[in-house]
Structure formats: structure tokens, C-alpha cells
Chains A and B, each alone.
Chain A
Amino acid sequence: MNALLCPITAVWNSSIGKKLLVALTGLALVLFLAGHLIGNLLIYLGAEAFDEYAKALHEALRGGGVWIARIGLLVCLVIHVAATISLTRANRAASPKYQHEAVIQATKSSRIMIWSGLTILAFVIFHLLHFTVRVDSELAEIAKASPHKMVIVGFSNGLVVLFYLIAMTLLCSHLSHGVASMFQTLGFRSRKAAPLIAFLSKGYTLVIWLGFCSIPIAIYFFHFGC
């Protein structure tokens, strides 16, 4: 047991170790976002393509694939949130406030990470209840017949669309600092690679934002698929 617990506590009890956990789980979540987006974009190919994709996801590995992914993502999410909350609490305790505050060059996104992160967490819970657990029985009925129809009906509510767009914007604010930050924490950043890393993280963030936001906008404002 010691052989297992010792490395875990050594990582968790060190500042760099805990940051490594945040970076690695962040990497898994960032890659998940890309996969999720590619799947979502199938909606533009029509109801048949989207419903077939949804069916394939649920039938992968005889229905086990989706659960492996869910459990893996949940573990990553829990570690990511627990480690960042613990790091933020330690940071607050370590740093007394100046009477005259000033920022030299840190970005706005980097300074609201905990708040953008917690909003995304709230959104993820709502999003899962909405489209995965389907607490709305009417929507659940629609989903059984066609996941494509469920998305169209789900995004016909203005408040849902508004929350979705706010959450995606904060997600991308989170990513614009988080993706580049991953490289530094994992030790892959250097002055030479910095412009490339900045380009990659900003480009990735933009693609994610445009891709995810386009769907509710197309449905709610341009009546796509209605």
C-alpha cells in the first residue's frame, strides 16, 4: 500500500506536483473538447449523420466505450477542480494585498481562472442534466427518437442559449491561458517556442469558441433545422 500511497502524497503535497496534475488532467479535458466539437459539428450534415454518430457512440465496445470515457473524464475533472481549488486557497493565504494594486503584464484571462473555471463547472453540471441525464421528460422522449431533434429543441430556449454562450466564452478565456500554461508546467515552454505556443493556444481557443457557439446561434437565431 505504501508503494502506491507514497508517490501520490509526494505529488499532491508539492506545489509543482499538484500543478502537474492540473496540467495533465487539463490536457485530457482539452483533447476531449476537440473530439466533442467534431461530433457536434456533424449536426450540419443533417439529422441522419448526427443520429448515426450518437448511436455509434453508445454502441462502442458493446456500450462500454461511453462509460469508460465518462469515468475517465469525471476522474480528470475531479482532480483538476480539487487541485486548482487547493492551489488557489494556498495562493490566497500566501499573498497579502497591496494598498495600491498594479498589474505589469498578466492577462485578464489568467487573473480570472478560478472564476471562469467554476462557471464552466456549473455549466457542465447543467449541460449533463440537460442533454445526458435529461431531467426534462419531454426532452427525454424526443431524444429517444432522435438526438438531432433533442439538440434543436434544447436550443430553442433563449435562456439556455444565453447561458451556453456565456459559458463557452468563459471556457475560451480559461483555455487561452490554460493551454499555453500547460506547456510551461510540463516544462516544454522556452523563449524560442513561446510564439508558437501562443499561436497554438490562441488558435485552438478560437476554433473551440467558434465551433461550439455556432450551433446554438444557428438554431436559435437562424432557425437551422427547425
Chain B
Amino acid sequence: MLNLTLKVWRQKTSQDTGSMETYDAKNIPEEASFLEMLDIVNTRIIMSGGEPIHFDHDCREGICGSCSLTINGVPHSKEKGITTCQIHMRKFKEGDTIWIEPFRARAFPVVRDLIVDRSAMDRIIAAGGYIDVRTGSAVDANSIPISKMDADSAFDAAACIGCGACIAACKNSSAMLFTAAKVSHLGHLPQGQPERDKRVLSMVRQMDAEGFGNCTNQYECEAACPKEISVDHIARMNRDFTSALIKEQLIS
């Protein structure tokens, strides 16, 4: 059993200024997950008549992208390649103080406590993260050959669960890794070619319009990404954007 001190960001509404509150988390089983630890603390808060700590969660197995939380300054904690819901309390030591804050970015307004509004990412997807397909019966699975390298790279990019950790980890709150993963995922495949230029231009412009910061190539995003998506996709997006911009402005 662990006895911990939690420093938790509490904020009643999006307009509220918010502040860090201290909680004692006593007798936490080591086999509990991080979110289960918060459940235990919340149960105790409710029993004593308080308002529980609000946080986002859904599948609790690292695939939905709902859980957020910046733990000791690092989105999804300093453990590599996992989401908050996959952290076990055995990773912490007796007497530790844990700082729990929302995913911070100006484009992610706090809804309440640790819950932030991440719909800016949905709007980036809506700007071009899709393929227009003809309706009708599905095409035969192997009718379009795709090279193994492209298939692998597209799949790596497609592993993005859209949690926003890259943005929360970035010192500039830049959404480049998220946007690049979406652009690269479709840009690697033959089905994504017809809209490749239009896609990168619209998605990057939407990203800029949402008020995200600019990339300074420090790669904190890659280090924080629970799916370990490579910043190679950012280089590829820079390349795609440049060529699409030149074509748009000077050719057609």
C-alpha cells in the first residue's frame, strides 16, 4: 500500500481561474491503475461530502484517446509509449508527491478540473483528414498494390489516437505531430493521392486558425506520444506543404 500526496488542478468552470489543491491519497494498492487511484480518492471525497475530481476517461486500455492528465509535468507521465490509464501505481514510491494537471494549451480550454475541450483537433480532421470515395460495393482488397514501406509508415501514422499529448507536451502547444500523423497516414496511400495537396493546405491552415503554436523542432511531442509516432511525419508534412503551397500560388 502506498501513501501519496496529490497536487491536483481544480477549476469549477472554463471562466474560473483555477488553482492547485492538495489531497492525501492514503492506502493506495500498488496494483491499482492511475485512474483507479483517482477513483479511490474521488470515492473518499464523495463520502466526505466534497465535489469529486473531474477527469476524462473511457476505454481504460490505451486505445480510445480519452484519458489525458499531465503527470509531474509530462502528458501521460514519464513512462514511454503508454496512456495515463495504462500507468500502474507501482511506478510510484511511498511518500511521493504527484502533480496532476490538465493537458494545457490555449486551444484546449479547460471545461472542468482536468477535463479540457479537445475539439480543435476534430476541426483539423474535418478540414481535410478524409478521402472522398465513390459509393457502391467495396473494391477488391488486393486490387491496388501498396508497397510494404508505405503501408507500414501509413499504419504507424494511423496509430494516432488523437489524445493531444503531443500538443500538451510541446512548449509552444503546437499541433504539428497530430496534424502530420493525419496528413501522412492518408498521404502514403494511393487512395489519398487525389486530395493530397488540398488536404495538407487545409489541415495546416485549420491548425493555424485554432491558435496552436509553431513547431520549434524539439521533439517533445514524439517523446510524449503514447503511440510513439515519429517526427519524420512532421518533416514529410513540411515537404508536402511546401510543394502544395508553391503549386497553389504559382502554378494552378
Chain A residues at the B interface, C-beta cutoff of 8 Å: 6-7, 10-11, 13-20, 87, 90-91, 93-107, 110-111, 113, 177, 180-181, 183-191
Contacts and interface: CB of A to CB of B under 8 A. Distances in A.
A99 B7 contact: yes
Given A100-B99, A190-B232, A91 B213 contact: yes
B197 to A, nearest CB: 13
B245 A14 contact: yes
Interface in B210-244: 211-220, 223-224, 230-232, 234-242
A103 B74 CA distance: 8
A95 B170 contact: yes
B170 A99 contact: no
* Top 9 closest pairs, chain A to chain B, by CB: A102-B73, A187-B239, A94-B213, A91-B172, A100-B99, A106-B218, A95-B173, A7-B249, A91-B213
B217 A190 contact: no
Interface residues of B, number: 52
A94 B219 contact: no
B244 to A, nearest CB: 10
Interface string B199-219: 000001101100111111111
B113 interface: no
Contacts of B104: 95-98
B178 interface: no
Interface of B: 7, 9, 20, 70, 72-74, 78, 99, 101, 104-107, 169-174, 204-205, 207-208, 211-220, 223-224, 230-232, 234-242, 245, 248-250
Contact of B173 (A19, A94, A104): A94
26 contacts: A7-B249, A14-B208, A15-B207, A17-B245, A91-B173, A93-B211, A94-B107, A94-B172, A95-B104, A95-B171, A95-B213, A96-B106, A96-B173, A98-B73, A99-B101, A100-B7, A100-B99, A102-B72, A102-B73, A104-B74, A106-B219, A107-B218, A181-B216, A183-B235, A190-B232, A191-B230
A13 B215 CA distance: 15
A21 B70 CA distance: 33
A190 B169 CA distance: 21
B70 A98 contact: yes
A10 B250 CA distance: 11
A103 B220 contact: yes
Nearest to B99: A100
A127 to B, nearest CB: 26
Interface centre among A11, A100, A185, A190 (most CB of B within 10 A): A100
B179 to A, nearest CB: 10
Given A95-B104, A106-B171, A187 B242 contact: yes
Contacts of B240: 187
Nearest to A109: B218
B215 A19 contact: yes
Contact of A94 (B106, B238, B241): B106
Nearest to A182: B217
A170 to B, nearest CB: 17
A119 B46 CA distance: 54
B235 A189 contact: yes
B164 to A, nearest CB: 13
Contacts of A95: 104-106, 170-173, 213
Q: By CB atoms of chain A within 10 A, which of B74, B106, B217, B238 has the most? A: B217
Contacts of A99: 7, 9, 20, 99, 101
B218 A15 contact: no
Contacts of A94: 105-107, 172-174, 211-213
A29 to B, nearest CB: 17
B75 to A, nearest CB: 9
A94 B234 CA distance: 19
Contacts of A11: 245
A180 B217 contact: yes
Give the one of A20, A91, A110, A183 with max B CB within 10 A. A91
A206 B226 CA distance: 35
A167 to B, nearest CB: 22
A104 B224 contact: yes
Given A94-B172, A98-B104, A99-B7, A110 B217 contact: yes
Contacts of A7: 249-250
